[in-house]
Homo-oligomer: A and B are copies of this chain.
């Protein structure tokens, strides 16, 4: 694509409300814009990153046999009354009464809705196991929205739900999701720490969180110096490890990007979702739920992949793979060479952005560092005379002067090696 044809409003300065680096860079690199506290628009570049992440999640979810569907944002409050979560969520749940007096809320999660759906259509053990998931917009009336996409009132989640006949089935699906999550985060370039967690308002016994260690994270990861046990957000009174009861905990701040729960029968019992076994005996369905903060992942990725100049995208989720930067856009030879490389690399399957703007080289270089495309191909007058061009690796800062003729193979081999 041509830079002149994409709406990428980069900024020199971050907005005053941006406290952390990822928030500043999200705005400065033209990925998102604030509409009102906790509510963001995704601009074209931000949406591209979102789509890359969503595609990786879809591939890994589908590979476990999970099926995608799409549930509504609007939910009747009466459903939440069945599980008592209308009270438990309190003011966090956004509510309104429609013109006919129907009490509604905006879904922050979908256990009740999916349980209702499955209850109506699953009657027999033969229809189990079943894993359903969606990637969808969720809503929370946050007391204190902050850190850009980390804590927002409107955000995008992947939420999956598993339905099994017994605990053994649940444990198997839980493990499959656990492994899928590791693959998803690794493909997105995120190193994670997996912690034992408190299921809280979701319910159930066993729960794990997928954390990205980050100075500005709102969560705490506690690691036992004795037995190595890792726990999220240990209660303040716990000076010792909750597992071995002996070792001291060391603490690190983190951003939670995934959370999985063995729910058990909390929802199926409250809502009457049952199945008949081989003997015709009725049992409540055994459930699990599995969330990923999709939009929050963008913040976590930027928080861990940046330098003073801007973002450094991991290659799998970068909006583009190669940025082609003609230094003197008015120079015909530079222009032609740039277009030629654009076509050549695009034909080889690279997703290229050509900075065709009539701006100074200084602005272009600054913007290129800011938006953080993994590889930059710099086409300049002087180098062209020697039949050379420059390849810059964004992450390492390394610059390679290469033969104009070997660009495609060089880009290919470098791209394979970088993360």
Q: Using a CB–CB distance below 8 Å, which chain A residues touch chain B?
A: 5-7, 9, 33, 35-37, 39-44, 46-47, 50, 65, 67-76, 91, 94-96, 98-99, 102, 104, 106, 113, 116-117, 120-121, 130, 132, 137, 139, 141, 143, 153-154
Known: A73-B154, A74-B154, A137-B73. A67 touches B39 (CB 8 A): no
- The 8 Å CB contact of A137, one of B35, B69, B117, B137, is B137
Q: Which residues of B contact A116 (CB under 8 A)?
A: 35
- With both chains docked as a complex, state the minimum distance between the C-beta of A326 and any C-beta of chain B, in angstroms: 18
The answer to whether B69 touches A41, judged by C-beta atoms less than 8 angstroms apart, is: yes
CB pair B72–A40 under 8 Å, yes or no, is yes
B9 near A121 with CB under 8 A, answer: yes
The list of the 9 closest CB pairs from A to B, nearest first, reads: A42-B70, A96-B96, A9-B121, A36-B76, A39-B72, A91-B99, A44-B67, A41-B71, A39-B74
Q: How far is the CA of A42 from the CA of B44 in the complex (A)?
A: 26
Q: In the complex, what residues of B have CB within 8 A of residue A137's CB?
A: 73, 137
Which B residues lie within 8 Å of A153 (CB)? 74, 98
Find the B residue at minimum CB distance from A50.
B70
Residues A120 and B33 in contact, CB atoms below 8 Å apart: yes
CB-defined contacts of A65 to chain B, threshold 8 Å: 5
Residues of B within 8 A of A41 (CB): 69-72, 113, 117
Interchain CB contact under 8 A, B141 and A76 = no
With A and B bound together, what is the CA distance between A92 and B130 in angstroms? Answer: 38
In the assembled complex, which residues on chain B have CB atoms less than 8 Å from the CB atom of A50? 70
Cross-chain contact A7 with B130 (CB below 8 angstroms)? yes
B91 touches A69 (CB 8 A): no
- Contact (Cβ within 8 A) B75 A35: yes
Most chain B CB neighbours (cut-off 10 Å) among A36, A47, A130: A36
| Chain B neighbourhood of A74, CB < 8 A | 35-36, 39, 139, 153-154
Q: Can you offer 23 A-B residue contacts whose CB atoms are under 8 A?
A: A5-B65, A7-B67, A7-B132, A9-B120, A33-B120, A35-B71, A35-B74, A35-B76, A35-B116, A36-B104, A37-B102, A41-B70, A41-B117, A42-B69, A42-B71, A43-B69, A44-B67, A44-B69, A46-B70, A73-B137, A73-B139, A94-B96, A98-B153
The smallest C-beta distance from A115 to any residue of chain B, in angstroms, reads 12
User: Do A143 and B99 contact each other (CB < 8 Å), given the known contacts A41-B70, A67-B44?
Assistant: yes
Cβ–Cβ contact B69 & A102, under 8 A:
no
Contacts of A40 in B (CB 8 A): 72
- With both chains docked as a complex, state the minimum distance between the C-beta of A164 and any C-beta of chain B, in angstroms: 15
A117 to B9, CA, bound (A): 10
Report the minimum CB–CB distance from A104 to chain B (whole Å): 8
A68 engages B47 (CB within 8 Å) = yes
A113 to B132, CA, bound (A): 33
- For residue A7, which residues in chain B have a CB less than 8 angstroms away from its CB? 67, 69, 121, 130, 132
A69 and B95: CB pair below 8 A? no
Using CB atoms, name the residue of chain B closest to A40: B72
Chain B residues, Cβ within 8 Å of A73: 73, 137, 139, 154
Residue from B99, B102, B106, B141 in contact with A36 in the complex, judged by beta carbons closer than 8 Å = B102
Are B102 and A98 neighbours in the complex by a CB distance under 8 Å?
Answer: no
Roughly how many angstroms separate A120 CA and B15 CA in the complex, as a whole number? 13
